[in-house]
Amino acid sequence: MMADYLPTFFLLLMALSVLIYAVLDGYDLGVGILLPMNNVEHRHQMIASIGPFWDANETWLVLAVGILLIAFPQAHNIVLRELYLPAAIMLIGLILRGVAFDFRAKAVTQYQPLWDKVFRLGSLIAALSQGFMLGMYVVGFEYSFITICFSLLTAFGAAAAYVYIGGAWLVLKTEGELQKFAAKKARRAGWLMGLSFIAISTVNPWLNPEVAERWFTMPGALVVLLIPVMCGLIWLLVDQYLKYVPVQKDRACWVPFVGGIAIFSFCLIGFAYSYYPYVIPGQLTAEEAASATKSLQFVFYGVVIVLPVILAYTVLSYRIFKGKTNELNYY
């Protein structure tokens, strides 16, 4: 019966929402972190590159949290209880971003650099908070010296990944010196991201015996091996492309951004393989945490209506504002 698969459906939908959020809001968080305080023209163009999208990108975070609340209320209670402080800090970062983005458009005098700094700070706070929450989620909300250090490592890795895909976005959307600047920053962030991911992949199975068993037991070990191999090959391709930016006639400027999406996707596949069918690793499965069947059926029909609308306006907005970014003008 369809009802038997609803918990798995909503778990996969939540994972998909997190992936889309990590890519879309990830690049604009990365752009915010990259804002150069010594070049106002670059800042204007970087803000213009994310202007039509950044607010709507957060829709996917709302959708993911909404699914957690409605489809897995027991897990939602545990997650927000255990991550209350870092979640509050993340929200402060997102609020700072929203306020700064609007105020920089109005404070076009000597105060505009201040709001740019606030936007950059808010972006960094949000990125680090999300990475820290991911780390604590992975270790089952166990607060100890080792798990906190692990979560700080994931915070660093998440921020580096966002800068990486943010730089890739700027390579796609800009030209000239700004494109060269973005490629240089993205390349450095890619190295840091790779090192942090290697460290996280080394520590994770040590902290989680169940994950170690899935990773190192055949035939699952073949699947796990394929993921870092593919990520490594894609990273190498993107790194070599970024090395030679700007490319003549801006050929294949989409390669870094698409490569970033592919790396994020493979990481999610690895994460899903490691923890499925758990909503909270080692504590609650999707079946155990799911709402009543009638509730899931009701929400399912709502998702069938709402999700295509969200996808449609997302695709439409990116289609309307495709191509290189135009000069920013508030007047």
For the chain, the structural domain boundaries read 7-292
pLDDT mean across residues, the chain? 89
Residue entry with tokens 């505009």: 112
- pLDDT band for position 328 (cuts 50, 70, 90): low
Q: Is residue 37 classed exposed, middle or buried when 0-12, 13-18 and 19+ CB atoms within 10 A define those classes?
A: exposed
> 234 with 263: CB under 8 angstroms?
yes
Rounded mean pLDDT, 217-242: 89
Rounded mean pLDDT, 223-250: 89
Other residues' Cβ atoms within 10 Å of the Cβ of residue 271: 19
- pLDDT band for position 125 (cuts 50, 70, 90): very high
Question: Residue 251: what pLDDT?
Answer: 84
> 289 with 74: CB under 8 angstroms?
yes
Of 24, 51, 23, which is closest to residue 119 (Cα–Cα)?
51
Residue entry with tokens 């295509």: 308
Is the pLDDT at 94 greater than 70? The verdict is: yes
Rounded mean pLDDT, 299-321: 90
Q: What is the pTM of this model?
A: 0.93
Count CA atoms closer than 13 A to 27's CA, side-chain side: 30
Q: Give the percent of the chain with pLDDT over 90.
A: 53
Question: Residue 331: what pLDDT?
Answer: 46
- pLDDT band for position 124 (cuts 50, 70, 90): very high
Question: Residue 2: what pLDDT?
Answer: 61
**Residue of 128 and 56 predicted with greater confidence:** 128
Report how far residue 42's alpha carbon sits from residue 283's, in angstroms, rounded to the nearest whole number: 47
DSSP 183-228: HHHHHHHHHHHHHHHHHHHHHHHHH-HHHHHHHHSTTHHHHHHHHH
Tell me if the domain spanning 7-292 has CATH number 1.20.1630.
yes
pLDDT tens, position by position, 30-71: 999 999 999 989 999 999 999 888 888 888 998 999 999 999
Is the pLDDT at 330 greater than 60? The verdict is: no
Rounded mean pLDDT, 282-288: 87
- pLDDT band for position 182 (cuts 50, 70, 90): very high
- pLDDT band for position 1 (cuts 50, 70, 90): low
Give bridge partners of residue 285 from the DSSP assignment.
278
Is the pLDDT at 329 greater than 80? The verdict is: no
Rounded mean pLDDT, 140-154: 90
Question: Residue 139: what pLDDT?
Answer: 87
Question: Residue 284: what pLDDT?
Answer: 87
